[in-house]
Homo-oligomer: A and B are copies of this chain.
Amino acid sequence: MQKVSIVGASGYVGGELLRLLLFHPKVKINQVISREHIGKPIGLIHPNLKGKTKMVFSSLSELETCDLLFVALPNGKSMKLMDKFIHVGRKVIDCGADFRLKDGKLWQQWYKTPHTKTNLLNKFVYGLPEINRNKIKKATLIAGPGCEAIVSILCLWPLIKQSVIKPAAIIIDAKMGSSQAGSKSNQSSHHPERSGCIRSYLPTGHRHTAEIEQLLNLYGNRPKVLLSATAVEMVRGVLVTIHVFLKELLSEKTIWKIYREAFNQEPFIRIIKQSQGLYRFPEPKILQGTNYCDIGFEKDFHSNRLVVIGAIDNLVKGTAGNAIQCMNLMSGYPETLGLEFPGLHPI
C-alpha cells in the first residue's frame, strides 16, 4: 500500500487518475491538489465520483510528502514546479509534455518557448511500458507520453524495429475527441461550434511529432513523421490511421507475425483484424474507460502501402491509465492492477 497524491486533480486527467486510484487495491490517496477548487468536494467537479470519496481539494502550498506524486499540469507549468515535486514525492510521474523530449532545443522548436529545466531532461524515463518496461521498473521520474504519441508509437515500433517500412514518409492522420483539449471551455469548444464537427485543427506542426520521432529514431534510421490532427465528434478517444510504405512486398501474414511477436505478451495491446463482424478494426468508442491500445492493419492490394489503425482512450491508455501502469511497474505490483475495466458495448 502506498500513499499517492495528485497535483492538477481537477482537470480531466486528474479526474481519471482519481477514478482509477480510488479503486486501486494498493493505493491510498493522500491529497488531491487543485489551485482553483480548494476546499470543494471532489464529486462537485468529477460528478462520477460523487458518493465514492469524502476528500476535498487542497492547495499546492499544503502538499505533503508522499510515496508517489502524479502531476497533471498544463505544458510549461510542470517544469516550474518540478524541483518542489521531486522534493515532496519519492517518485514522480509527470503526465504533461515538459519532460518528454531529451533535447531542450528540440523542445523549444516545437513548443515555441525555452525549456528552463534542461538539467532534468535526462533523468526522466519516457513512460511507455510496452517499450521501456525495464527502465520504468527502476525509474523514480517518469514522463508520461502524449496520447497521439502512445498510440502512434505502438503502431509503428514493431515495423520500424523490423526495418520493414521506409522511414522517410510516415503519415499519421489522427482523429481526436474533445476531452483532449482539457477541461477549460473556450470558443472552439463551444457546443454549437464543436458538435458534429470534423475539424482539421492541426494539419501540420503537431508537437507530438517530436516525441514519436525521438522514440522511433532509437530503433530505425531517421524516421520522418507527418502528423495531421482532426477533431471529430467524440469526447474520449483517439483513432490514428497510419500510412506507411513497405520496403519490400510483405504478406499480411508476415505483418501479423511481426505484431504478434512484438506484443504477444502485452496485457493491454490487442491486435484487431477481423474478416467479419462490425468491429473489424480498432475503434475508440468501445475503448472508453479502458487501458487498451487496439491495433489493426490492412495491406493495400494496389500499392506497397500498409495502413495501420490504432485506437486508445486518450484519458486512460493515453494518459492516466498508462501512468498507473507505470506506477504498477515501479512498485512491483501486477501490471494490470486497477486497470481491468473491459469497456462498454454498445456505447
Contact = CB atoms under 8 A, between A and B. Distances in A.
A228 to B, nearest CB: 5
B48 A342 contact: yes
Contacts of A281: 199-201, 203
A203 B342 contact: no
Nearest to A206: B302
Nearest to A224: B303
Interface in A261-283: 270, 272, 274, 276-279, 281-283
Interface stretch (A58-66, A96-104, A136-144, A230-238): A230-238
B235 A234 contact: no
Interface string A8-47: 0000100100010011000000000000000000001111
A300 B110 CA distance: 13
Interface string A314-347: 0000000000000000000000000011111111
A254 interface: no
Contact of A285 (B196, B237, B276, B311): B196
Contact of A344 (B48, B184, B199, B276): B48
Oligomeric state, in copies:
4
A187 B15 CA distance: 16
A102 to B, nearest CB: 18
Nearest to A237: B198
A346 B179 contact: yes
A12 B224 CA distance: 42
Closest 3 CB pairs of A and B: A192-B346, A185-B190, A47-B279
Given A189-B192, A196-B233, A235-B347, 16 more contacts: A19-B345, A44-B274, A48-B290, A179-B192, A185-B186, A191-B195, A196-B196, A197-B283, A199-B281, A200-B282, A200-B309, A204-B298, A204-B302, A204-B307, A209-B302, A226-B302
A129 to B, nearest CB: 17
A211 interface: no
B232 A346 contact: no
